[in-house]
Amino acid sequence: MTQKIRYPKPLPAGGRIAVNAPSSGVTLDWKEFMEQAKRNVEAAGYDVQISDMVWSNVQLTSAPKEARAEEMQRLLLDPNVQAVVPVWGGEFLFEILPLLDWELLRQADPKWVLGYSDLTTFCFVYTLLTGHATAHGNNFFDLGTTPWDELTRRWVDALATPEGGQIVQHSSERYQKHWSRKLPSDPFALTEQTEWKCLGAEQQPQTAVEFSGRLLGGCWEILRSLVGTPYAPVQEFVREYCREEGVIWYLESSEINAAEMYRSLWQMKEAGWFTGAKGFLIGRARGNIDVADFSYQDALHRALGDLQVPVIYDADIGHMPPQMIFVNGAMARVSVQNGKGTVGMEYR
C-alpha cells in the first residue's frame, strides 16, 4: 500500500518562524539586509526568531557541526516554532546529517522547512527519510527585497495551505540575470524575458505540454553528493510514496557548467533515481556554462533524452530569481505553452 505524505500544519497568522544557519552564517556586512527581511516578514504578520548562530561564519559554516545539528533538531521539535526558514545556503550542511535523530524526527509532527541551494541537503533528505513534505524556495535572506514580486510572495501561500488544499503558480514575466541589490530593500532587478522551453520542441513553442506526478528535487550539485549515501533512499521513497503517480523532478544549479551537469545527471540516472520519472523541470542556468561546443541543452539531451518524458528548462527555479515554491512530495500538474508555465500543487 502506498504511504501518504505528511504535510505540516498551515503556518498561522502570528506564527513563529525560526531563522537559523545550518550551513553558512552571515557576516555583519549583511546585517542590514537581514533586518530588512525581518521587517518584511513581521509586516506580513509573523513572529520572527533569528538564532544567534546566524551572525557567525568561520570556514564557511556558522558553527561546529554538532551545534548546527543540535539547533536544527531542537527547532523542528519545538512546539512554539511553526516553520524553519534558514538564512541562506552555503557549502557543508551535509556534515549535520549523521548527527540528527531521524527516527525521532520521523515520529514527530511535521514542520515546514523552506529554502534552496545548500538547504536542498536538508529538505530533500528530511522528506525521503520521514515522509514529511518540505518546501524548496526562497531563503530568509531573499525576503528583504521590497516589495515582494508575485512569485516571491507565494511562500506565504505555500506554507499556509492545509493538507488537501491546492496552490497554483504561474511563470514570471521577467527574471533577474545578475545580482543587483545594493540597498537592503532593493527589489530583484527583473529585466530579462522569462521563457520556459521544452527540450526538443523549441521551434514549436505553441504546442501544449502537460504532465503530472509528485514533486522531488532541488539543487543538483547538492543532490549528486548524496548519491550512494544512506541519506538518499530515492528508489525506496518512490516505491513507498510515488508508485502510482510517478515523480516530477525539479532541478536547479548554482555554479556547475554543462559538462558537470551531464555528469551529475548521468550519475543520478545510473543510480536509479529517475526510474518512473514523469517529467523534468530544470531551472535557469547561471552564467556562461557551455564548455567549448558542449552546451546546457546538449547535457540535457544526452542525460535525459532517452527517458521519453517532457523536459522543461529555463523554469522559475533557484538561483536566478524569482522562483516558484516546490513542495517535495506534493502532487503537481505542469502545463507549458508559448513559453509560459503553470504548476498546480495539491497537498495530498
3 state SS of 317:
coil
In a domain, 4, yes or no: no
Q: What is the pLDDT of residues 257-276, one digit of tens each?
A: 999 999 999 999 999 999 99
Q: What is the pLDDT of residues 25-34, one digit of tens each?
A: 998 889 999 9
User: Domain check: are 136 and 175 in the same one?
Assistant: no
Residue 159: name the closest of 60, 83, 238 by CA: 83
In a domain, 155, yes or no: yes
Between CA 227 and CA 249 the distance in angstroms is 15
Which grid cell sits at 253? 544549479
User: Domain check: are 155 and 194 in the same one?
Assistant: no
pLDDT, position 263: 95
User: Domain check: are 181 and 95 in the same one?
Assistant: no
Between CA 117 and CA 182 the distance in angstroms is 22
3 state SS of 298:
helix
Active site residues: 117, 252, 319
User: Domain check: are 299 and 197 in the same one?
Assistant: yes
Mean pLDDT of 122-146: 97
User: Domain check: are 243 and 195 in the same one?
Assistant: yes
pLDDT, position 17: 98
In a domain, 10, yes or no: no
The least confident of 27-31, 54-58, 107-111 is: 27-31
Region of 329 on the Ramachandran plot (φ > 0 left; ψ -120 to 50 alpha; else beta): left
User: Domain check: are 152 and 185 in the same one?
Assistant: no
Beta strands (DSSP E) in 194-319 are 197-198, 209-219, 247-252, 277-283, 311-315
Residue 231: name the closest of 157, 115, 128 by CA: 128
Q: What is the pLDDT of residues 135-191, one digit of tens each?
A: 999 999 999 999 999 999 999 999 999 999 999 999 999 999 988 888 999 999 999
3 state SS of 128:
helix
pTM of the predicted protein model: 0.96
User: Domain check: are 146 and 181 in the same one?
Assistant: no
